[in-house]
Structure 1
Amino acid sequence: MDTLSPSISAVDLFCGVGGLTHGLARAGVDVRLGVDVDPACKFPYEENNNSRFLEKDVDELKVSEIASELSKGRYSLLAGCAPCQPFSTYSQGDRGKSRGQDWRLLRRFGTLVEQLQPDFVTMENVPQLKSHKVFQDFILSLRGYDLRSARIQCSRVGVPQSRQRLVLVASRHGPLGRGVDAETSLAPTVRETIGKLPLLRAGESNAVDPLHISPQLSPLNMQRIRASAPGGTWRDWDKSLLSHCHQKDTGATYPSVYGRMEWDKIAPTITTQCFGYGNGRFGHPDQDRAISLREAAMLQTFPEEYKFVRSGELVRFNRLGRLIGNAVPVRLGEAIGRLIREEVDRLFSRSY
């Protein structure tokens, strides 16, 4: 009997900077290829992962471009997190006419599953997706697969933030032994995750780590953050610090903007605007600044040494905030990978 665990070859669609890929690799999955339309993802993806990056719109992807990579291992996995613009709080305006375009990438993912018939499929997305017809259409592309889908609170799998995601795992080899929601791993606190990073002032960058950088705060916002206690809200401020929106009735529904994180709790959901003090509870627990890009990445469970920019490259907050906030947390990817690895090992043991 071959005592080696059988290989799993994977392709990561909509791979971004590699959060899912990195997690799958930690669980023993050989991710051969990552596909994304954003050229900014190429350097971090290839620099930190033993995988090739293909810059291409998945909607234009040919089966032949990924079939050979999936065939490298004994088992195959097609993974992906199609962009979820329909649910973005920044794009909830008049979207009815373009909704078909928003769903095209998830539909293309389903078509690729039907054409390639990989051994395993995993899809990660926002929980709201499950209530839409496009999700049921995606399920139809998985005829012949046993599948589990669940709304996952990411802190249950070791991600130090309050982040909920829909995770689906499907197998072409009979019933899955468990779902990702069956796994529990205590999430570290904010202190345990970022507490040892060097001190930083607003507007400064660390000389050693270019990603440990926090934007400048205006004089008014500096007053505001100094008046903010960890876990508190802008309601604790003196009236002279309140903005016009806070004083409106609608402002009462946004208590967490201009807030500080708490050292001994998990962080809020890390978003694409996490570097902005006014965009949520993104103030550092005790330093008068917003969290740095490195701190945001570590709260997304990227390793501290994960490289996002080339040496000497200008750090752009909007671009890197988008890449970090949109990433699949590495530990969530690892939890998915462990589930698939367990299934493969179970199938392998049955064959002897």
Structure 2
Amino acid sequence: MTNASTISAVDLFCGVGGLTFGLEEAGIDVRLGVDIDSDCKHPITRNTRASFLAKDVSALDASTITDALSGSDVTLLAGCAPCQPFSTYSRGAKRDGGPRRGRGGAEDWRLVEKFADLVEAVEPDLVTMENVPPLARQAVFETLVRKLDGYFLDYQIVECSSVGLPQKRKRLVLLASKLGPISVPQFGRARATVRSTIGALPPLAAGEVDSEDRLHCASRLSEVNLSRIKASVPGGTWRDWPAGLRAACHVRDTGATFPSVYGRMEWDAPAPTITTQCFGYGNGRFGHPTQDRAISLREAAMLQGFPRHYSFIPETEPTSFARLGRLIGNAVPVTLSRAIGDILVDHVRMYR
């Protein structure tokens, strides 16, 4: 066909809409986003065309998905099922960004297993899942692959900077199709940088809020941490500091194993992986390249691929670093989502 059939999708574990927004940018009709965290309703309904359902996916009935996809030309089930041993996903349970469960228990994998069960029950034309790379080595991933019997299937570890995300972040990307052979391509090296992404934002001091964008706000720094960031160089470590500024854990032998905290980003390189704690200078290499502060919430969102004016919370609600750091850090990067969407649209154009 000259024109591809319309792809209609349901996004499970949709979060603030990183996957939904990216798929929509590629031309996919995302009809429904599902997440246990009601905080995700505003960003989904404000920034995307999808409806939102606040529900634990582990309790979701397949009929909810089939009803949402009714009348579709081509159906897609998409999602990023959290893996508790490797993920800081905590929606609806803990709100501090920490994992809910310890390592090794069957409960750790229940959401991945549920995603596999829903794929088997719904039988969509297309499936995509984005997740942490270690999942590919787990038995639960083998179960998911078995339940995709009858689909053409491919999965690869993707370095997100290769698709244009200004961030060093590796993710497992799975694609499956009933329509024909499908593959995750070897992406090029279209590298975006910290400078090209956030360089035009107004400067801030630590603890300051931009007058026109309350998400462009930087957390406060203690006097000692302000001295530390002033002594930090882009791409450097705490080893660049004078001895008097080093923390107790740094002067012990074990401190040598933590070189990636209290660091500045580099202007002309991708950012480090954005986490739920990215607003804190001491939580990683989250210092601004030149300003004496940690990156702002807006900068973190833009480094995740979100557009500058993406709305995360209603105007009537206060800005919370912990809450917004969790929402932004847990998001599927928009740039990666758009790349996945483009692959699926091209695939349907070829086989329909």
Q: TM-score, normalised by structure 2?
A: 0.95
SS of residue matched to 2:264: coil
Given candidates 237, 249, 252, the residue that maps to 2:256 is: 252
Is there any run of 5+ residues in structure 1 with no aligned partner, and where? Answer: none
Is 1:138 paired with 2:144? yes
CA distance in 2, matches of 1:346, 1:17: 31
Q: AA paired with 1:304?
A: R
Q: Which residue number in structure 1 is paired with residue 164 of structure 2? A: 158
* Matching of residues 184-223 of structure 1 within 5 Å: 184=188, 186-223=190-227
User: Which residue does the alignment assign to 2:28?
Assistant: 29
Partner of 2:293: 289
Q: What amino acid does structure 1 have at the position aligned with 2:324?
A: L
The DSSP-based 3-state class of the residue aligned with 2:327 is helix
After the TM superposition, which residues 162-177 of structure 1 pair with which residues of structure 2 at under 5 Å, given as runs? 162-176=168-182
Deviation, structure 1 residue 92: 10
SS at match of 1:85: coil
Residue 109 of structure 2 is aligned to residue 95 of structure 1: no
Q: Which amino acid aligns with 2:322?
A: N
**Matched residue, 1:41:** 40
Q: 2:61 — aligned with what?
A: 62
* In 2: Cα distance, 1:140 partner to 1:55 partner: 29
Partner-residue secondary structure (3-state), 2:61: coil
Q: Which amino acid aligns with 1:61?
A: L
Q: In structure 2, what is the Cα distance between the partners aligned to 1:288 and 1:20? A: 32
One-letter code aligned to 1:7: T
Matching of residue 320 in structure 1 with residue 347 in structure 2:
no
Q: Deviations over 1:248-285 (max 9, x none)?
A: 22211111200000101110000111000000000000
Q: Is the Cα contact below 8 Å between 1:283 and 1:290 reproduced in 2?
A: yes
For residue 11 of structure 1, give the secondary structure of its aligned residue in structure 2. Answer: strand
The correspondence of residues 73-92 of structure 1 with structure 2, limited to 5 A, is 73-88=72-87, 91=99
Cα separation, 1, equivalents of 2:277 and 2:330: 10
Where does residue 183 of structure 1 map in the other structure?
187
Q: Aligned ranges for residues 261-300 of structure 1 at < 5 Å?
A: 261-300=265-304
SS in 2 for 1:64: helix
Write the distance in 1 (CA, Å) between the matches of 2:266 and 2:307: 21
- Displacement of 1:95 in angstroms is 3.2
Q: Are residues 329 and 93 of structure 1, via their aligned partners in 2, closer, same or farther at CA, if it must alter by over 3 Å? A: closer
Structure 1 consecutive aligned stretches of length 4 or more whose deviation exceeds 6 Å = none
Q: Is the 8 A contact 1:157 1:183 kept in 2?
A: yes
The unaligned stretches of length 5 or more in structure 2 are: 89-97
1:112 to 2:118 alignment: yes
Identity score, percent:
58
Question: In 2, Cα distance between the equivalents of 1:263 and 1:331?
Answer: 19
Q: Which residue of 2 aligns with 1:12?
A: 11
User: Partner letter of residue 15 of structure 1?
Assistant: C
Alpha-carbon distance between aligned partners in 2 of 1:123 and 1:49, rounded to the nearest angstrom? 20
Q: Which residue of the partner structure matches residue 302 of structure 1?
A: 306
Query: Aligned partner of 1:62: which letter?
Result: D
Deviation at 1:185, TM superposition (A): 5.2
- Cα deviation, residue 73, structure 1: 2.1
Q: Is the 8 A contact 1:183 1:335 kept in 2?
A: no
**Structure 2 counterpart SS, 1:114:** helix
CA distance, structure 1, for counterparts of residue 35 and residue 50 of structure 2: 13
Normalising by structure 1, we get a TM-score of 0.95
Whole-angstrom CA distance in 1 between matches of 2:193 and 2:40? 28
| Amino acid across the alignment from 1:149 | Y
Question: Residues 13-59 of structure 1: CA distance to partner in whole angstroms, max 9, x if unpaired?
Answer: 00000000111011111000000000111101110001101000011
Contact 1:44 1:309 in 2 (8 A): yes
In the aligned structure 2, how far is the partner of 1:94 from the partner of 1:58?
20
Q: CA shift at 1:184, angstroms? A: 2.5
Residue pair 1:22, 1:49 contacting (<8 A) in 2 also: yes
State how far apart, in whole Å, the 2-side matches of 1:88 and 1:110 are.
Answer: 18
Q: Distance in 2 between matches of 1:136 and 1:279?
A: 34
Residues 114-161 of structure 1, C-alpha deviation per residue, up to 9 Å, x if partnerless? 111000000110000011100001111101001010000000111111
Instruction: Report the 3-state secondary structure (helix = DSSP H, G, I; strand = E; otherwise coil) of the residue aligned with 1:245.
Output: helix
- Paired residue total: 343
Q: CA–CA distance in 2 between the matches of 1:340 and 1:46?
A: 24
Alignment of 1:128 with 2:134, yes or no, is yes
Tell me the distance in 1 between the aligned counterparts of 2:21 and 2:293: 29
- Distance of 2:297 and 2:285 partners within structure 1: 15
Question: Contact 1:301–1:331 (CA<8 Å) still a contact in 2?
Answer: yes
Cα contact 1:9–1:71 (8 A) shared by 2: no
Letter in 2 for 1:53: F
Rounded Cα–Cα distance in structure 2 between residues aligned with 1:305 and 1:186: 24
